[in-house]
Amino acid sequence: MSRPGRFILAALGLAALVGAFVGLRLWSAYVDSGPSLTAVQLVIPRASSGSATAALLADRGVIASPLAFRMGTFLDGTAARMKAGEYVFPAGASARAAGDLLASGQTVRRRFTIAEGLTVVQVMAQLRGAEGMEGEILTVPDEGSLLPETYFYSWGDARTRTIERAQRAMREAMAELWPRRAPDLPLADATSALVLASIVERETAIAEERPRVAAVFLNRLRLKMRLQADPTVVYGLDPSGVLGRPLSRADLEARNPWNTYVVDGLPPTPIANPGRASIEAVLTPAKSDDLYFVANGEGRHVFSRTLAEHNRNVSRLREIERSRTQRN
């Protein structure tokens, strides 16, 4: 073999050795444990290219070599299946494991909780501030149309999607519970039940009191008595449901459709989003002749059948309040 031929052959052999060495290093960088010492939570933006994804993973310390990641995921076939979203990469995850996670689409499940008794104004404010949710809320849902519970979402989900899910959950709950109602309730339809449930929800947060509070209002409706529920007054003055000060006599006399001190029967809409327990309390209330209730000064309520008994309970509450004021 001529000298040029031997030179070319040697060069090719060297290139093959170098290529094998580089390939081995890249493969090791792809399958060996990554540099992260702790789990890394990271959002891969939509429409990110493979190179942009690799650079982001390297920048956050998930992988050591963007080139190894790009070549490995291409050869594995995972590059074409990788999805945007929010992921948690375990400590020490290899570049291959990172690619497999992105291809799996197992994004972080975030939680958004609608608490019982929140108004639509309050829920919308929380939705607008929910981290990772996207999109404007162009149509505000009706009061009382959102079922309070925890809804899971992923980074980038639309806010309107959570609203639609909460509305669907409320419709399904009412479709299930309304047919189970006690007989002879003074309620025209499921909407009336939802309105009353919202009042019960705002009157007490104590689970065992709800059926008895519901019974008071239902008894009043049967007797054509005004409900005289303070939360309806608050809602009529401020739809957020938060007045920020004690109610005054002028507030109780304010004429608006929600003030049950001046209007007969139920207000025209719910005053909050009631939870399932309050809806059940209205549809299956306690057996009771009570017509009144008032706070007992210890976080609960005391109930009574007559106005005279109720006035005595109110007097006791005032004495407790005066005593506390004097001590402070």
Residues 319 and 212 placed together within one structural domain of the fold = yes
Could you tell me if residue 262 is inside a domain? yes
Q: Which of 266, 283, 281, 259 is nearest to 213 (CA)?
A: 281
Residues 162 and 121 reside in one and the same domain: yes
Do 296 and 160 fall within a single domain?
no
Q: Of the candidates 58, 75, 104, which is a domain's last residue?
A: 104
Same domain, 124 and 91: no
Q: Whole-model pTM?
A: 0.85
Domain identity same for 66 and 130? no
Asked whether residue 163 falls in the same domain as residue 253, the answer is no
Structural domain range at position 298: 183-327
Q: What confidence tens digit (pLDDT) does each residue in 45-96 have?
A: 988 899 999 999 999 999 999 999 999 999 999 999 999 999 999 999 999 9
- Note whether 133 and 153 are within 8 A (CB): yes
Clarify whether residues 289 and 156 are in a common domain: no
Closest CA to 184 of 218, 211, 210: 218
| Helix extents (H) in 77-135 | 95-104, 120-128
Q: Are 315 and 191 part of one and the same domain?
A: yes
Has residue 19 been placed in a domain?
A: no
The answer to whether residue 97 is domain-embedded is: yes
Q: Based on the fold, state whether residues 133 and 68 are members of the same structural domain.
A: no
Judge residue 240's burial from the number of C-beta atoms within 10 Å of its C-beta, 0-12 exposed, 13-18 middle, 19 or more buried: middle
Give tens-digit pLDDT for 113-154.
999 999 999 999 999 999 999 999 999 999 999 999 999 999
User: Is residue 284 assigned to a domain?
Assistant: yes
